[in-house]
Amino acid sequence: MFGLDRKDTSLLIVVAALTLLAPFLLNPFPEGSSLAQFNAGYPDLMQRFVIFGIFAIGFNILFGLTGYLSFGHAAFLGVGSYSAVWMFKLLSMNVIPAIILAVIVSGLFAVVIGYVSLRRSGIYFSILTLAFAQMSFALAYSVLTPITNGETGLQITLNDPRILGISQTAQGGIPVTNIFGLEMRSTYQMDLGPWLFQFNAGYYLCAAIMLVAFYVAIRIFRSPFGLTLRAVKSNQQRLNYTGMNAKPYTLAAFVISGMYAGLAGGLMASMDPLAGAERMQWTASGEVVLMTILGGAGTLIGPILGAGFIKYFENIFSKINDNVLHGWFSFLPDGLEDFIVGILHPFIGKGWHLTLGILFMLVVIFLPGGLVEGGQRIARWLKRGKASKSSQNTNPAE
């Protein structure tokens, strides 16, 4: 289907089903139950899952296929956000032109940064991209204040022209982002017994765009272009002596992944129309590297898993505090309860980075292929278990 083979088609269908049913799947616990805090099915977080999924899918096209590790991809995310917000200020609150401009501007930006950075490879390439991103951050933070509004961040105001839209609503408020009238924040709430499910327009727009982005990534992976990128990673010398010019191929990969980052940035601004310089900081660049490696660099589904994993941790684990822990371990004798809570204390709440760091180390050491490799190992183990069981079953029959 869609020019994909059977395996890729079923992968695409599974991802589509998971994203479309996410409001159910991420809210397995009834409202008000003690486990409700593990629910991730609220619009804000679900939007972040798919937006960072797009960011990581794009990053994987560069890092996973060519092996060029960029430490500056957040710059494209930020550029995309600024472009989108400017579109909201000048044109209209419709997200479509904003997203298109975000992709174009970040693509042009990627051509310039990629052209210079790709003159070097390995660690020098990484350092160059990092330097560019930090320069962009510094520019956005101070020098380019007229464009970026400095440390306050770029926001929409009542005085913006919005030549195709309205400067302010009839009530005198700031208009909200929409797609041809459908507001991004509009949410349908479904009460099902004790459960509450939320279906948000913005989430479904992001999810649809992520599915298209994922489909395009599959096509790139299976194309002659994708094959050449893998050859760049494997042995650039051989590629040069096989008559291929590696440079335009890697630049194309860099620009494509920059455009994915810009798309993610544009969507971020579409969900919440403001853009700040901190989106370009090196920690944001590092986050997408973590996502891709954690999920499985060079695999199709890995980056999405990694993005979901990290965003879940960031938003859910950081909310667990000592009171919650005391609640869980209240069945233990007092002294023991305090002792266990004391031990777990550094790993929860604000300490979630510590837990994430440990998990990341474990994955890199024991599962170099990321979560995807973990999944494959479990699948193989289950298959072997089933095979040995069925052979045991057939033996007595003989």
Interacting span for another protein (CB under 8 A) from 205-213, 234-242, 271-279, 332-340: 234-242
Burial of 3 (C-beta count, 10 Å sphere; 0-12/13-18/19+): exposed
How many whole angstroms separate alpha carbon 273 and alpha carbon 157? 10
User: Which residues are registered as beta bridge partners of 275?
Assistant: 154
**Cβ at position 66, least distance to another protein in Å:** 12
How many whole angstroms separate alpha carbon 133 and alpha carbon 145? 17
The smaller minimum CB distance to another protein, of residues 121 and 187, is found at: 121
Check residue 180 for interaction with another protein (CB under 8 A): no
Contact predicate 22/53, CB 8 Å: no
Check residue 230 for interaction with another protein (CB under 8 A): yes
- Binding residue (CB under 8 A) for another protein from 120, 185, 233, 353: 233
DSSP state, residue 174: P
Check residue 146 for interaction with another protein (CB under 8 A): no
Strand 178-179 to 182-183 pairing: antiparallel
Check residue 224 for interaction with another protein (CB under 8 A): yes
Q: Based on C-alpha coordinates, what's the Rg of the chain?
A: 23
**Cβ at position 233, least distance to another protein in Å:** 7
State which of positions 275-294 bind another protein (CB under 8 A): none
- Binding residue (CB under 8 A) for another protein from 173, 241, 323, 395: 241
Degrees (nearest 5) of the Cα angle 208, 214, 217?
A: 145
Check residue 2 for interaction with another protein (CB under 8 A): no
Residues counted in the chain: 398
Check residue 326 for interaction with another protein (CB under 8 A): no
State which of positions 184-223 bind another protein (CB under 8 A): 219-220, 222-223
**Cβ at position 299, least distance to another protein in Å:** 13
- Binding residue (CB under 8 A) for another protein from 189, 234, 321, 388: 234
How many whole angstroms separate alpha carbon 117 and alpha carbon 131? 10
What number of chain residues touch another protein (CB under 8 A)? 30
Place of tokens 């619009």: 43
Helix locations, 39-153, DSSP H: 43-66, 74-90, 95-117, 122-138, 145-148
- Binding residue (CB under 8 A) for another protein from 37, 122, 143, 238: 238
Check residue 239 for interaction with another protein (CB under 8 A): yes
DSSP state, residue 279: G
Check residue 142 for interaction with another protein (CB under 8 A): no
- Binding residue (CB under 8 A) for another protein from 237, 323, 391, 395: 237
Q: Is 189 helix (H, G, I), strand (E, B) or coil?
A: strand
State which of positions 328-367 bind another protein (CB under 8 A): none
- Cα–Cα distance list, 349 to 208, 328, 341, 344 (Å): 33, 15, 12, 10
The smaller minimum CB distance to another protein, of residues 202 and 226, is found at: 226
How many whole angstroms separate alpha carbon 296 and alpha carbon 300? 8
Check residue 227 for interaction with another protein (CB under 8 A): yes
- Binding residue (CB under 8 A) for another protein from 10, 152, 169, 235: 235
**Chain residues in the site for another protein (CB under 8 A):** 3, 5, 219-220, 222-228, 230-231, 233-235, 237-246, 248-249, 252, 256
